[in-house]
């Protein structure tokens, strides 16, 4: 009989997630991110070249907590495992666009403009899957 997975209640109400990843020397680095719930996991869409992706490739250990847009957490962090899944980027993008209907296209457009102004390469999107034992 399959077990019923119960996610923390804040996953239904919070718009932002403080994702803390750890550098090689163990220092925590927190980043506020948008997230979506997909059954028993959380998905985050991010740039393939971001620091959080580099840190997760070194260690899948992470913590999450609900937060505001500036990353100020409202609850204690929860230990999780996170993995980078480029093949899930398309599905994650569609879910993020559904959840953040108005904001997602505006942020994407602003990001493209800023990258063009700064002469940076186009973003290469990837998904981060977040799971925790017991979820």
What's the confidence (pLDDT) of residue 54?
97
Q: Are the C-beta atoms of 77 and 18 separated by less than 8 Å? A: yes
What's the confidence (pLDDT) of residue 106?
87
Kindly state the greatest CA–CA separation across the chain. Answer: 55
Structure tokens at 13: 């109400």
- Domain assignment present for residue 5? The answer is no
Structure tokens at 12: 């239904």
- pLDDT tens for the chain, 135 residues long, are 455 667 889 999 999 999 999 999 999 999 999 999 998 999 999 999 999 999 999 999 999 999 999 999 989 999 999 999 999 999 999 999 999 998 888 888 888 888 788 888 777 899 999 998 766
| pTM across the whole model | 0.87
Give, rounded to a whole angstrom, the gap between the first and last alpha carbons of the chain: 16
- Domain assignment present for residue 4? The answer is no
Q: How many domains does the chain have?
A: 1
- Domain assignment present for residue 3? The answer is no
- Domain assignment present for residue 2? The answer is no
Q: Are the C-beta atoms of 6 and 37 separated by less than 8 Å? A: no
Domain with 91, as residue range(s), is 10-131
Sign of the four-CA dihedral 9, 14, 15, 19: negative
Q: What is the CATH number of the domain that holds 53?
A: 2.30.110.10
What's the confidence (pLDDT) of residue 1?
46
């Amino acid at each position: 009989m399959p077990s019923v997975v119960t996610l923390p209640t804040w996953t239904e109400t919070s718009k932002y997630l403080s994702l803390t990843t750890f550098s090689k020397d163990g220092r925590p680095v927190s980043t506020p991110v948008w997230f979506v719930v997909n059954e028993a996991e959380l998905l985050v869409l991010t740039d393939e070249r971001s620091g959080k992706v580099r840190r997760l490739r070194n260690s899948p250990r992470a913590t999450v907590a609900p937060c505001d847009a500036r990353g100020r957490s409202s609850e204690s962090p929860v230990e999780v495992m996170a993995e980078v899944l480029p093949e899930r980027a398309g599905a994650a993008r569609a879910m993020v666009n559904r959840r953040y209907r108005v904001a997602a296209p505006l942020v994407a457009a602003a990001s493209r403009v800023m990258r063009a102004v700064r002469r940076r390469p186009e973003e290469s999107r990837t998904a981060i899957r977040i799971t925790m034992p017991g979820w």
